[in-house]
Structure 1
Amino acid sequence: MMGELFASFGLAMLTGVVCIYIVLVLLFKDFLQPVTILMALPLSLGGAFVGLLLAGKSFSMPSLIGLIMLMGIATKNSILLVEYAIVARRDHGMSRWDALLDACHKRARPIIMTTLAMGAGMLPIALALGEADMSFRSPMATAVIGGLITSTVLSLLVVPAVFTYIDDFKQWVLRHVRRHSHHAAPEAGANTAPKSP
């Protein structure tokens, strides 16, 4: 029974990742940069598992619900960084390095503030405070808080680095495509040139 439950939640998380990727591709009109944003997901999941381990909470259905909640929260922080860097390069002519530095500088405060607010709101549930029985929801809140902490801190470091690697890969692909098209153009012209009698 529990195996089927975990399998269904795993399928739900995989479906969620695919849906997030499709939405990001439509928003950014790019197939590679959404990968940068999705890199926040393993960071948040790792923090959730560490949080559950440190708090002595079991990996149960509420903690799985917390992991699904984390998917949207963690990608939101990365979207703020990546979207700002892309707009800074495209509209303001900044270099990649300056755009990333500016994005981290100007987006770090709202990202950290929203994380603190979310964590503070989840803390009473994680500690199972209150008259009602919150022991069922406590693992969910613990997973969310642990994932929020790691995804927020590490996304400010990992996401810019992944953005750089993805951008380098895009430039490498574009250079090879242009080089191939330049080589193909003279050959096509030679093949279509009229033959002298």
Structure 2
Amino acid sequence: MAVTHIGYASSASLALELTPGVSLLQVQAIIDQEWRNQHLPETINGELQSDEGDVGKSTHDSEILIVAAVLAVYLTLGMLYESVWHPLTILSTIPSAGIGAVMALDLFGLPFSGMAVITMLLLTGISLKNAILLVDFAIHAERERGMTGREAIREACLLRLRPIVMTTFAAALGALPLVMMGGYGMELRQPLGIALIGGLLVSQAQTMFTTPALYLLMTRIATSLQCPQLRNIS
């Protein structure tokens, strides 16, 4: 006879499988409610364990990590471009990537799990890279070649379109096996791949259509506030 332990305490385990469309956070809430209804002694403790780890702690830590990453990127870009406005143009691509990931998961009936949070971190880097390719080219064209903001961002879109499309589709095709492969661990791989592809597609569209408009808007705002480091786009 064997007695299992967690730490120094004797333990017993109950296995469960998630119903399609039900997340671990929802299961955690149900288990906590049922645990309170049982009025068990304080010497008996229970916890939900999964392949994604501690649900509440991992989600909370991931939120802090995403906020810290965005703040670090803003400060770095602000010092690089000597501007408080154009980093906002680049960071504007992050919400669209998140929206695309959530829409893709909802389309396939998958919950927003811990793997989806990891996907958000991946999408943050890829979407920022696409916007940086445009904004960096436009800023240098304005400052070094004397182009107006409109001319600079237009030329940036024409010359940077191919590398942006190539890297986006390369990342999306790389995530395709995660969606199509079955077998052990499929419930972890599929949300990662689906969220990544959905976020990339929406972020790609946003980068090429709204980033140039936001660039011009930020340039106008900075010019109206008499920021000396930015040129007038008239």
Q: 1:18 aligns with which of 71, 82, 94?
A: 71
What does residue 102 of structure 1 align with?
155
Per-residue deviation, 1:55: 2.1
**Given the alignment of the two structures, is residue 76 of structure 1 paired with residue 129 of structure 2, yes or no?**
yes
SS in structure 1 at match of 2:225: helix
Percentage identity across aligned positions? 34
Question: Contact (CA 8 Å) 2:55, 2:114: kept in 1 or not?
Answer: no
What does residue 165 of structure 2 align with?
112
Cα RMSD after superposing both structures: 1.5
Question: Contact (CA 8 Å) 2:116, 2:195: kept in 1 or not?
Answer: yes
Q: What aligned pairs does 1:80-159 form with structure 2 within 5 A after superposition?
A: 80-127=133-180, 129=181, 132-159=184-211
**Paired residues, number:** 174
Larger relative contact order, structure 1 or 2 (CA cutoff 8 Å, min sep 6): 1
| Structure 2 gap segments, 5+ residues each | 1-53, 228-234
Q: What aligned pairs does 1:24-39 form with structure 2 within 5 A after superposition?
A: 24-39=77-92
The C-alpha deviation readout for 1:50-103, integer Å capped at 9, x for no partner, is 111112222101111001111111100000000011111111221211111111
Partner Cα distance (2:170, 2:114) in 1: 25
More helix per residue: 1
The C-alpha deviation readout for 1:148-179, integer Å capped at 9, x for no partner, is 1011111111111111111111111118xxxx
TM-score by length of 1: 0.83
The C-alpha deviation readout for 1:87-146, integer Å capped at 9, x for no partner, is 11111221211111111111111101111111001001022x165533312211211111
| Structure 1 gap segments, 5+ residues each | 176-197
Regions of 4+ moved over 6 Å? none
Q: 2:108 aligns with which of 55, 61, 70?
A: 55
SS in structure 2 at match of 1:135: helix
